[in-house]
């Protein structure tokens, strides 16, 4: 039980992100079917008629995924309450958060039954599905800051509901928009679907921004909290991701307006940009999940750093490649385990040098990969430098050995015992993503795959690693952790840029946007490497 409790923070973060994603797709699907496809009922030709059935199928499986996630969330939260509060099962199961998850599970199941209806019946009874989707959004708000305040504010709860609904209508509706637009053959139907969804998305974006600004003013006492606390850093990251989403949305809005004037306007770029919006939206939802676990600055419970501390930490300094012997580290002098944690004291000079060496080595690898990736674009150098993904495999090996000096293979804590520590688990996950990236991308560069899907391992693993890095310290509140989060956030955001650019390079390889993407991600790699080279632990 102690091991489970130690991992609960990480499990809670992953579950929150998973449920946010699945329920956004559920609510977004209901909104898309109601606002976009319902007016088209009976107006589509024979080839386009299956669009609604395909969307209902996606809605059904999204509801099923939400039900499974809620069942796991109920079990995990109940077990945590029983283990920490020493209460019986009935008391733990009656907690407000557990009840909210249980209600969301029932609502998701009811919507799954709705999604099994044929298209005509769903459109006829669509207001029932809309009511269930609204209740699902309300149930989710039951596990957010707005509802967990000592005295819940009706204004904040309402604002949170609007925020969740707006995000779902916009981001959760995009997968259905992609399916519908991809299946239409006639320019008139494409024009109608694109314009209807764009209109609903614009209203959703407006509501999202207004609700977000209102919650920000209520949760953060001043603007300095945006960079002096973990909550503020995550919120600032969400704002940056929102800006990226709005850039792609603006480009798609321009295409939609052209489509309205000329029905034969190509929609390929619109579809590919919308795919990138989905990816950015998922990362933003991951940040939102971490926000729900972070202490609010307005409560005074979150430790803060200061601008002077930030300036001192990030003053430029040449990277150091001196690594102390393992025997000099604090981990070598203390045989404590994760199961019996001790109060950690300040880092020793050897600990600091060890951690900085890890980041500086990673910086060298990442800069070299970016340089080699650019050189690969030239015929003369391509045969030699196309093996650059192997550097990532080498980097993964370095991280396995050096990333967690307290654990296997160097430290006194065994491999399985170390998995009780959420920070070590995240390191292992990121290392696995790096190794997966390296193996697949190397084979892609060598032309060993006949199908196209292995090329997408690059953007998917890079985006996933960036999401984990963005929230790597989101569940801790120490002032030192805030400084580490500040240093990791730009690197993670550059990872999101790399993933998006590589996706566009693959999906729009014969267009200007794809060619630009092919230059953007290597440059983003090099910038990430430079930031790693400048990293300071203290």
Distance between start and end Cα atoms, the chain: 34
Q: Considering only CA atoms, which of 446, 468, 106, 532 is closest in space to residue 283?
A: 468
Question: Which runs of E-coded beta strand occur in 85-201?
Answer: none
Tokens of 452: 């196209």
Full pLDDT tens readout for the chain, 538 residues: 566 666 787 888 889 999 999 999 999 999 999 999 988 876 766 666 789 999 999 999 999 999 999 999 999 999 888 888 888 888 888 888 899 999 999 999 999 999 999 988 999 999 999 999 999 999 988 777 777 776 668 888 899 999 999 999 999 999 999 999 988 888 788 888 999 999 999 999 999 999 999 999 988 888 888 888 888 999 999 999 999 999 999 999 999 999 888 888 889 999 999 999 999 999 999 999 888 888 888 876 667 888 888 888 888 888 988 889 888 888 887 654 444 444 456 788 898 999 999 999 999 999 999 999 999 999 889 999 999 999 999 999 998 999 888 888 888 888 888 888 888 888 888 899 999 999 999 999 999 998 899 999 999 999 999 998 887 654 455 677 888 888 999 999 999 999 999 999 999 999 999 999 999 999 999 999 999 999 988 7
Q: How far apart are CA 380 and CA 87, in angstroms?
A: 69
- How far apart are the C-alpha atoms of 438 and 160, rounded to whole Å? 41
Residue 422 CA: distances (Å) to CA of 36, 374, 462, 489, 508: 43, 36, 20, 19, 38
Tokens representing 140 are 């989710």
CA 455 from centroid of its chain's CA atoms: 20
Q: What is the reported pLDDT for 506?
A: 96
Q: pTM for the complete prediction?
A: 0.91
| The pair of three-digit structure tokens given for residue 16, joined into one six-digit string | 């929150």
| Calpha distance 112→244 (Å, rounded) | 33
Residue identified by tokens 């993670």 is: 492
Query: How much is the pLDDT for 473?
Result: 55
Cis peptide bond prior to 409, omega within 30° of 0: yes
Spacing of C-alpha 322 from chain mean position: 34
What is the SS3 assignment for 413? Answer: strand
């Amino acid at each position: 039980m102690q091991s489970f409790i130690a991992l609960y923070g990480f499990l809670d973060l992953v579950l929150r992100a998973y449920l946010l994603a699945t329920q956004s797709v559920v609510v977004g699907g209901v909104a898309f079917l109601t606002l976009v496809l319902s007016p088209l009922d009976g107006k589509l030709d024979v080839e386009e008629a299956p669009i609604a059935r395909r969307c209902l199928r996606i809605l059904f499986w999204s509801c099923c995924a939400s039900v499974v996630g809620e069942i796991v969330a109920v079990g995990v939260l109940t077990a945590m309450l029983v283990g920490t509060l020493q209460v019986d099962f009935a008391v733990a199961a009656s907690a407000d958060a557990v009840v909210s998850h249980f209600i969301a599970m029932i609502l998701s199941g009811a919507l799954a039954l709705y999604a099994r209806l044929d298209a005509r019946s769903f459109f006829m009874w669509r207001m029932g599905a809309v009511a269930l989707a609204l209740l699902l959004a309300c149930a989710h708000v039951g596990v957010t800051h707005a509802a967990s305040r000592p005295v819940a504010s009706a204004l904040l709860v309402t604002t949170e509901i609007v925020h969740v609904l707006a995000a779902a209508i916009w981001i959760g509706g995009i997968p259905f928009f992609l399916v519908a637009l991809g299946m239409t053959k006639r320019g008139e139907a494409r024009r109608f679907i694109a314009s209807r969804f764009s209109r609903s998305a614009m209203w959703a974006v407006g509501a999202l921004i207004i609700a977000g600004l209102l919650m920000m003013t209520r949760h953060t006492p001043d603007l300095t909290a945006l960079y002096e606390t973990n909550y503020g850093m995550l919120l600032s990251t969400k704002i940056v991701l929102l800006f990226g989403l709005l850039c792609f949305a603006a480009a798609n809005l321009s295409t939609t307006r052209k489509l309205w004037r000329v029905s034969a306007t190509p929609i390929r770029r619109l579809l590919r940009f919308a795919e990138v919006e989905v990816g950015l939206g998922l990362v933003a939802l991951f940040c939102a999940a971490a926000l729900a676990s972070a202490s609010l600055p307005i409560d005074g419970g979150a430790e803060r750093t200061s601008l002077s501390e930030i300036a001192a930490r990030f003053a430029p300094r040449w990277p150091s490649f001196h690594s102390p012997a393992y025997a000099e580290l604090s981990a070598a002098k203390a045989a404590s385990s994760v199961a019996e944690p001790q109060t950690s004291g300040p880092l020793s000079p050897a600990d600091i040098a060890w951690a900085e060496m890890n980041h500086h080595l990673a910086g060298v690898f990442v800069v070299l990969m970016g340089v080699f990736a650019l050189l690969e674009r030239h015929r003369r150098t391509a045969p030699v430098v196309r093996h650059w993904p192997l550097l990532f495999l080498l980097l993964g090996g370095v991280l396995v050995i050096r990333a967690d000096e307290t654990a296997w293979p160097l430290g006194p804590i065994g491999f399985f015992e170390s998995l009780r520590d959420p920070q070590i688990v995240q390191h292992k996950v990121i290392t696995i993503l790096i190794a997966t990236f390296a193996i697949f991308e190397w084979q892609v560069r060598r032309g060993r795959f006949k199908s196209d899907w292995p090329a997408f391992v690059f953007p998917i693993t890079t985006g996933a690693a960036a999401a984990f890095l963005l929230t790597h310290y989101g569940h801790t509140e120490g002032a030192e952790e805030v400084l580490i989060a500040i240093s990791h956030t730009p690197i993670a955001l550059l990872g999101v840029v790399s993933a998006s650019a590589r996706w566009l390079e693959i999906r729009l390889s014969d267009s200007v946007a794809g060619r630009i993407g092919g230059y953007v991600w290597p440059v983003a790699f090099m910038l990430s490497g430079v930031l790693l080279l400048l990293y300071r632990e203290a």
